[in-house]
A and B are shown apart, each in its own frame.
Chain A
Amino acid sequence: MAKVLVFTEITSDNVKSVTYEILGKLAGNDVDVAAVGQVPAGAVTELAKYGAANVHSLKGDNLDKYSPEGYANALKEFIGNGGYDYVFAGSTSLAKDLIPRLSGMFDAGMASEVTNFTMDGGTFAGTRPLFAGKCLAKVEIEGPKPHFITVRPNALGMPTSENAAAGNAADASVNAGEIRAAIKEIIKGASEKLDLTEANIIVSGGRAMKEAANFKILDELADAIGATVGASRAAVDSGYAPHSMQVGQTGKTVAPSLYIACGISGAIQHLAGMRTSKCIVAINTDPDAPIFTKADYGIVGDLFQIVPILTEEFKKIM
């Protein structure tokens, strides 16, 4: 049995769902959860249900806004005192930035964005995609502990069996130390929806969208099924959508349950970002478009005709 810490983020009172995915896989180990700031009581109850023995709210000066140095210093001290063997986190923007720095402070190894893992006899072994998902490999960590692991959201799936633990809530005071790179301002994003990397359903548009205004039909479809809208690079480069919406090798890697590709040819660099989607629907006028070889359900048709019908059909059943 290993002593494990799962680092989580709390956004608008909610724990990121990838945290529960990780907890589900860690059943049988001694697992604590920590977040910077106050973990709300409701979240503590929920985390306990999924196996958290102790839930730590880390508090200290200069931690109200994220900074790689401040968070890393604070966690360094907390993790060191706690004697953890492993530290897990969901592969969010924040964790991708923070966890490597933290692992280096312990002289320790880190496995990034695993899509599956085991903890046999308290030892971690993971699977992770490389070369934009064109290849998978087994990854193990050597050298000083704790070992650090980030997990891709939506990859493990939500736990199905109960694994309740005590869920004792505790406050810990931590020290952010000197912060040289500090956030001055946060500019809000275009979308209030779930980020592409966390979204469970994605509707993406390609070059065939023809202009930015036409993304409205994808927004309507997305609203009907609670999806986030993405785009191909051709759509982004043509100015139909911002880069933050790009899915693919030089965009975001996504792993939703359902990915609906509208007017996207299925170039290798686009597939790189979305091939691990559980179910892929493609709408394309070209019956030979490569995307159809990856699609579970392909519709050979004009997206401008199909998408509105699809939206109406979904509305009927949602």
Chain B
Amino acid sequence: MNIFVCIKQVPDTETKITPNGDGTYIETSSIKWIMNPYDEFAVEQALLTKQANSGSTVTVVRVGGVKDTEALRTALAMGADDAILVESDDNLDSFMTAKALKGAIEKSGKTADVIFTGKQAIDDDCLQVPQLLAGMLNIPSVSVVVGCEEAGGAFTLKREVEGGALEVYEVKSPALIACNKGLNTPRYASLPGIMKAKRKPLAQHSLADVGVSDADRRVKYSNFQLPPEKPAGKKFEAMDEGVQASVVAEVVGLLRNEAKVI
């Protein structure tokens, strides 16, 4: 099987976010970048699928900055075979990203049997790229996947929906599978894996190489700003059993009369 995984680099979840000077994006100079957490599940599922299907290859694809190829190297160290980077300094929108990924997959000369992605990137939180990419490639997709079994190129997938319910899908390859937390436990890259990763092929293309131009922009962002700070709240001491009943009564009263949420 030709297995592809799409990954993104995002700011570490602990990062303090500051808007840049003209409010068009955030300050990126001192950010620690990590592999998007959901993409780790995608890489792991790709590797598991490869292990179950001898002769398969896993190709990781990323659209993003050239300087930092760490997430691609991490995926290679985990066991992916080769990598593609589409160079882009821009903060692209979902449409451009999906189109670039499609272009990169096509340029690889391989037809994807299955594509794994994370269910969402935790920087822009758009949840669009997997579905857009599947639509552009005209293949079916299943998103928010927490269960994945494969046999003979057919997948049984569990997708999480409201109220903790699961929809069970059956789909034959080619298909796109967008992974959620809980699907598997991503492996760590071993030391030999990290050494090997340095010698694995990493192709680089420009946006133009994969057919993306500024005319593909669909979403314009501006006015990046921090959310308004909440005024300080009221705090009540209730460690002492003697005051608990009166404190609770007071808070419930405030919820009803001041906050008006009950």
Residues of chain A having any CB pair with chain B under 8 Å: 66, 68-69, 72, 92-94, 96-98, 100-101, 103-105, 108-113, 129-143, 179-195, 197-198, 201, 225, 242-245, 249-251, 253, 257-258, 268-269, 272, 275-276, 278-281, 285, 287, 292-302, 305-306, 309-310, 313-314, 317-318
By the criterion CB–CB under 8 Å, are B233 and A296 in contact?
Answer: yes
By the criterion CB–CB under 8 Å, are A189 and B163 in contact?
Answer: yes
**Is B72 an interface position by the 8 A CB rule?**
no
Please judge, given known A-B contacts A136-B226, A268-B13, whether A105 and B135 are in contact too, CB under 8 Å.
yes
Given A142-B219, A258-B261, A297-B235; 19 other pairs, CB 8 A cutoff: A68-B143, A94-B161, A100-B127, A104-B135, A110-B95, A129-B125, A131-B122, A137-B23, A138-B223, A141-B219, A184-B170, A187-B168, A189-B163, A189-B164, A242-B164, A244-B163, A250-B181, A257-B261, A287-B235
By the criterion CB–CB under 8 Å, are A140 and B230 in contact?
Answer: no
State how many angstroms separate the Cβ of B175 from the closest Cβ of chain A. 6
Question: 8 tightest CB-CB pairs across the interface, nearest first?
Answer: A109-B218, A244-B164, A189-B164, A181-B140, A301-B238, A195-B162, A189-B165, A104-B135
Q: Tell me whether chain B's interface is mostly helix, strand or loop, or mixed.
A: mixed
By the criterion CB–CB under 8 Å, are B181 and A298 in contact?
Answer: no
By the criterion CB–CB under 8 Å, are B146 and A243 in contact?
Answer: yes
State how many angstroms separate the Cβ of B37 from the closest Cβ of chain A. 6
Range, interface on chain B: 35 or more
A180 to B134, CA, bound (A): 12
**Max chain A CB contacts within 10 Å: which of B221, B225, B245, B255?**
B255
A residues in contact with B237, CB < 8 Å: 287, 300-301
By the criterion CB–CB under 8 Å, are B248 and A101 in contact?
Answer: no
State how many angstroms separate the Cβ of B115 from the closest Cβ of chain A. 13
By the criterion CB–CB under 8 Å, are A189 and B162 in contact?
Answer: yes
A182 to B141, CA, bound (A): 10
A136 to B19, CA, bound (A): 9
Chain B residue at smallest Cβ distance from A111:
B219
By the criterion CB–CB under 8 Å, are B165 and A187 in contact?
Answer: yes
A139 to B94, CA, bound (A): 13
Please judge, given known A-B contacts A182-B170, A296-B230, A317-B256, whether A112 and B19 are in contact too, CB under 8 Å.
no
